[in-house]
Amino acid sequence: MKALVTGGAGFIGCNLADRLAAGGAQVLVFDALARPGVERNLAWLQNRHGAAITPRIADIRDAEAVAEAVREADAVFHLAAQVAVTTSLVAPREDFEVNVRGALNVLEAARLCRTPVIFASTNKVYGDLADVPLELVGEAYRPCDPVLRAHGVDERRPLDFHTPYGCSKGAADQYVLDYARSFGLPSCVLRMSCIYGPRQLGTEDQGWVAHFLIQALQGRPIRIYGDGRQVRDILQVDDAVGAYLAALARIDAVSGRVFNLGGGPANAVSLLQLIDRIAHHTGRKPQVEFDAWRAGDQRYYVTDVSAARRTLGLPRPTPWREGVAGLARWLAGEPAQRQLAEIL
């Protein structure tokens, strides 16, 4: 198989490309290399897999370049995106062009070739969930509704796009589903919660688990927007990659479907709880600064993963404490420290 991974030099993309190549696939890594540091991920892939990795340095907004890449592929994993809510508020037109026009470029090329598409969406399509009554228990919010508390947010939750980022990712999400419906394109959507793991060089705008660890390891303060009691279910990247491969393997059965993908209630953690755990790994509690809530932020989001596990055959995810320990070890290692020194 020849697989195209758009955004293949990014955090999730390079981990997915690595797994594909290790399994014998030829992988076309399509990436603009716009994010600082991702060129090292591409070099890492090429060093590990040699000729199994073919780089294509191009922009997802370039329809001709996208079409050429799709024509070479047996399957497309579309991960290339503008990924930060904050950036979308500063540059909404660029956010639209990358996330909506870029997705349409992929879909149109795939429609002509009948190439399956697995699309990386986000839980932000559900909005800020302000209608969900919450109670404060210790350092974390939790739903008053015991069913929601036990299982999390499922795919029946109404869409409610907030911020330009939510609108652009949500629009692309719906285009992917409609191309399955209108054109019979084999395609599937994975709405992800917070993914973390090795090769994640998170920033204040995106990739908060790694960003918190990086700040702590370098003795810098961690800035929290809100009160820190907001809760997310975090998923280790190897588990996320497994879901993408499972969706492709079952594409005939799951085409036109959407799955929420996250760590589930067992991996739900507040920002303050994660900082306490970081102190366990660094030997000192990080300095924390607080700022105002950011637009569209969810005080509570935990994924109901039952549909994905049942339909895609996913195993139980990595426990978050074990996964965070693995990320801390990777970030403390020499290769990650060299990469960080170049971009910070």
Residue 316: count of CB within 10 angstroms of its CB = 12
Which residues does 198 contact at the CB level (< 8 Å), separation at least 6? 15, 237, 326, 327, 330
For residue 251, give the amino acid letter. Answer: I
User: Quick one: which of 131, 138, 148 has its CA closest to 265?
Assistant: 148
Q: Following DSSP, what letter does each residue of 198-229 receive, concatenated?
A: TT----SSS-HHHHHHHHHHTTPPEEEES-S-
Residue 29: CB atoms within 10 Å: 28
The number of helix segments (H) and strand segments (E) in the chain equals 15, 15
User: CA 42, CA 48: separation in Å to the nearest integer?
Assistant: 10
Across 9-104, the runs of DSSP E, i.e. the strands, are 26-31, 53-57, 75-78
Q: b/e for 58-75, b at 16 or more Cβ within 10 A? A: bbbeebebbbebbeebeb
Q: Catalytic: 165?
A: yes
Whether the Cβ atoms of residue 9 and residue 78 lie closer than 8 Å to each other: no
The residue assigned the tokens 């994660």 is: 274
Number of neighbours of residue 168 by Cβ within 10 angstroms: 26
Residue 144: how many CB atoms within 10 A of its CB?
10
Give exposure, 221-230, as e/b (b: 16+ Cβ within 10 Å).
ebebbeebbb
Determine contact, residues 323/238, Cβ cutoff 8 Å: no
Of 126, 141, 165, 196, the active-site residue reads 165
Active centre residues (catalytic): 165
